Structure 1
Amino acid sequence: MERDISLLYDRLHKEIYNSRVPQADEMPVCVSKDGRPAGAKSYMWIYRTGKMHNAAPIVLYEYQKIRNSSHPREFLKNYSGTVVTDGYQVYHSLEEEREDLRIAVCWSHARRRFANVVKALGKEKAKGTLANDALKQIAAIYKVEGLLSEISSEERQKQRQLTVKTLVEAFFAWVKQHQNAVLPKSETGKGFTYCLNQEKYLKVFQRMEMFRLTIMLTKEVFVASASEDVTGILLIQLMELRPVLLFIVLQKQQKQII
């Protein structure tokens, strides 16, 4: 049984390699029985096929006690291409180690702190705030990019240079202009800092024909794994083969919220 599961996992792992622009993420989890004090923080590393994958989406979860670069380095060691991630420095370090690996930071992480401000204030009170203005500009980038989703990859790339690139450059120029207008430790200030620190990686999608600007669905799938939108869930503990593996084959696309 364990051998069969291991072979299936390895096959799904290869399918993620073969997909176009896979996604990688990590999130903290609390585990009560792993030889450490109850509530000790561990991490679930999450890898999934990207938006351009034509077959049923595949998601692989790998439980680890620590959050260092050894885990994604091992998982991605035979992959060449672009991976969509958050701004965690570990992924950037992997890119620096290899010439055949490129990291593209997801825009959903860039908008998150601004969205937190608007949610806390409410839509009416948030009007006119820098956080709300930032969200509007990011939404405009998504909207124009969405209009390009159904055309050929070559034409999409041409149109990006005419439309999306202008919006992206305007957004970063605006952030730089207003960065000093807010406290660095405020939620909006942290959002500005994140965007500027990740500017290089947030712009990667503009240069790629086989890339669609979308939100990452790694954590969302983990949270929604018990919902009716996800089927085919299997949880296996393979203490001899790997620490703990949770892998999910999605048979239905997750709902996307921008």
Structure 2
Amino acid sequence: MYFSYSIIGKLQFMNSLPLYRQETIFKRLSIDLSRTTLSNWVLTSAELLAPFYDRLHQLLILQKIIQADETPLNVIQDGRETKSKSYMWLYQSGGHESGQPIVLYDYQATRAGAHAASFLLGFSGHLQVDGYAGYHALASDNCTLVGCMAHARRKFDEALNALPKTSRKDKMGVAQTALRKFTRLYALEKQFKDLTIDQRYLLRQEKSKPLLEDLNQWCDDNVTRTAKDSSIGKAIRYTINQWDSLVRYIEDGNLQVDNADGGGQQSGAV
């Protein structure tokens, strides 16, 4: 049985192969394994690992920095409309010096912020998230929200991709200009990655803060020049609305610039 769990684990979780593809692979090997059997293996494995998950959950709540995100997925389930949209919530320990990371997934049928509040019950520290309003209810004296710069940057990237191909080549375009400003911020984070918490804090105050002030002023100058419903208008307004949480990372040298470990890409949706 252990061999069976090992096979299914490597194929599904290491090689990202869904069960229907695994079923086909086994058939080519003359092994008759239905998706029902494979699914039961996954469920049994999850049950066996539940105590480990619960313990990791307890340890995660004790962390001082947690990063969270959620992504939609379609689920076929009895009692619900076929392919109803559900959500997989991701929680992980954050911080430059958090040691071995704890990463946990939590499936929920909806995107209600109450799910995050329940999962993080008892947490005290910095919670790094995007601008989704469902997280706002968690903000308190014990929980400080930190923005994700990757989410803000992505909106400008989407605005650039929405332009005609000829317009994308204009280096002086609004979206292109904004992306250059984000690039400079990320270049600094790459330089600071291996420094101590105190060193990173001081250099962020010296070098990152002026760049952030410049980005903030640029957004203020351009917000009235863009239509609210345009892609670039939405990107600028998102950045302005989330500004206080987006710049919070420079207040603590242990905080990340985003919840994707400084890579400029989103972790979640995972």
TM range (shorter): 0.7 to 0.9
Q: Distance in 2 between matches of 1:12 and 1:43?
A: 21
More helix by percentage: 2
TM, length-normalised to structure 1: 0.78
Secondary structure at the counterpart of residue 37 of structure 1: coil
- Higher relative strand content: 1
Distance 1:51 1:126 in 2: 37
Q: Deviations over 1:129-154 (max 9, x none)?
A: 11111111011111112212222111
1:110 and 2:110 are equivalent in the alignment: no
Cα distance 1:100–1:142, how it changes in 2: closer, same or farther (>3 A)?
A: same
- Does 2:179 align with 1:130? no
Moved more, 151-160 or 165-174: 151-160
Which deviates the most, 49-58 or 129-138?
49-58
Contact 2:129 2:259 survives alignment (8 Å): no
Match of 2:71 among 24, 27, 36: 27
Unaligned runs of 5+ in 1: 223-258
TM score, norm. by length of structure 2: 0.74
Cα contact 1:19–1:52 (8 A) shared by 2: no
Match of 1:174 among 218, 222, 225: 218
The answer (yes or no) to whether the contact 1:82–1:104 under 8 Å persists in 2 is yes
- For the 8 Å contact 2:228–2:234, the answer to whether it is kept is yes
1:161 aligned counterpart, secondary structure: helix
* Structure 2 residue runs without a partner (length 5+): 1-43, 261-265
> What is the one-letter code of the residue matched to 2:116?
P
User: 1:67 maps to which residue?
Assistant: 111
Give the Cα separation in 2 of the matches to 1:126 and 1:13. Answer: 48
| 3-state SS, counterpart of residue 174 of structure 1 | helix
Shift of 1:41: 1.4
CA RMSD, Structure 1 to Structure 2 (Å): 2.1
- When residues 126 and 120 of structure 1 are mapped into structure 2, their CA distance, relative to the original with a 3 A threshold, is farther
Q: Which protein is bigger by CA-based radius of gyration?
A: 2
Q: Deviations over 1:170-212 (max 9, x none)?
A: 1011100011111111110000110011011101101112113
Distance 1:59 1:159 in 2: 29
Greater relative contact order structure (CA < 8 Å, 6+ sep): 1
- For 2:25, the equivalent position in structure 1 comes to none
Q: Is the 8 A contact 1:118 1:126 kept in 2?
A: no
Return the letter of the residue paired with 2:120.
Answer: L
